[in-house]
Amino acid sequence: MHLSADLVRDLHKYEYSILYAIERLMKRYTWVPFDNLRRATRLSKSELEFRLGSLVDKNLIRYDIVPYQGYSLLHTGLDTLALHTLSSRGSVSALGSLIGVGKESVVYEALGLGVIVLKFHRIGQQSFQSVRVNREYMTNTGHCPWIFASGLSAEKEYEALRRLTGRVRVPVPIDRSRHTLAMSYIPGVNLNNCRLEDPETVYQELIEEVRKAYRLGMIHADLSEYNVMVNEDQCWIIDWPQWTETTHPNADELIRHDVETIVSFFNRKYRLSLPPEDALRYVTG
């Protein structure tokens, strides 16, 4: 279900109170019991039942009786809370069209001081275990619902963009709430979806950006043609939630994989003969 700006604007204050309460209580419960919600919101039984039914109908929360009766946020409910917070701060004034759906995120165009991008991190049921294993910021034990994993993913990417902005071509971070990033709009197209007139120039530009990040102690760790935006002969590297430090035990393997993936793409699509070892030496030297 796509996020609705009308829904976020028109949601009743009691319904926001319930969503905020479920979010808080999900740090303790996978399914939040009705009695706990009633104590947290101080609503009457009949009012709470009515509002919970409305939130279920709007696909913002879900209800189940197994292993016990309780309520849980859906990603759309968390999206609503994040957008409500960003709007109240003045970071977002209008929600635009859906512009991208990835494995672990949904991206919308929006308005802030100008055209911006909203990226909603969505670590889903299928990807949760993979993220937990492969990303060092995820705990291996304890209670960590998918919505909080999404929040950690957004926090990690926000940190990367703040460190890289002004030094490497990346989106400029504007604000963050929960699992959602507001960032600058990147003019251009995805590297995978365009035909470059001068591929060697773009390749050299991209390798230079990878080198700059490496010198700042950062490795993208998932770099490919799918997370590079191109406008004429300039490029931007996007999607940084899995980045790692150059001091990481697997840093050599990760930077090699990033560089070899990019070299392989340009050699394959544009029939170039770029040597990956030369590129790797340049980036790390």
CATH assignment at residue 252: 1.10.510.10
> Is residue 152 located within the same domain as residue 221?
no
Domain that holds residue 212: 189-284
Residue where the block lists tokens 């504007």: 174
d(CA 151, CA 102): 16
Q: Exposed, middle or buried by CB within 10 Å (0-12, 13-18, 19+), for 211?
A: middle
Q: Specify the CATH number for the domain of residue 53.
A: 1.10.10.10
> Is residue 113 located within the same domain as residue 171?
yes
The pLDDT value given to residue 135: 52
Positions marked catalytic: 222
Q: Do the Cβ atoms of 173 and 162 come closer than 8 Å? A: yes
Asked if residue 79 is part of any domain, the answer here is no
State the total domains in the chain. 3
Asked if residue 241 is part of any domain, the answer here is yes
Last residue of a domain, one of 167, 184, 201: 184
Asked if residue 81 is part of any domain, the answer here is no
> Is residue 193 located within the same domain as residue 176?
no
pLDDT (tens digit, 9 = 90+) per residue, 31-61? 999 999 999 999 999 999 999 999 999 999 9
> Is residue 209 located within the same domain as residue 159?
no
Asked if residue 83 is part of any domain, the answer here is no
> Is residue 241 located within the same domain as residue 273?
yes
Asked if residue 21 is part of any domain, the answer here is yes
Q: For the whole model, what pTM was predicted?
A: 0.90
- Could you tell me how many residues make up the chain? 285
d(CA 207, CA 217): 15
Asked if residue 86 is part of any domain, the answer here is no
The pLDDT value given to residue 4: 84
Last residue of a domain, one of 184, 216, 238: 184
DSSP 230-264: EETTEEEE---TT-EETTSTTHHHHHHHHHHHHHH
Q: Specify the CATH number for the domain of residue 141.
A: 3.30.200.20
Q: Do the Cβ atoms of 185 and 226 come closer than 8 Å? A: no
Angle at 224 between CA 223 and CA 229, to 5 degrees: 95
Percent pLDDT > 70 in the chain is 92
> Is residue 59 located within the same domain as residue 140?
no
The pLDDT value given to residue 80: 96
Asked if residue 196 is part of any domain, the answer here is yes
The pLDDT value given to residue 129: 45
Q: How confident is the model at residue 146 (pLDDT cuts 50, 70, 90)?
A: confident
Last residue of a domain, one of 135, 152, 184: 184
pLDDT at 120 over 90: yes
Asked if residue 62 is part of any domain, the answer here is yes
> Is residue 96 located within the same domain as residue 148?
yes
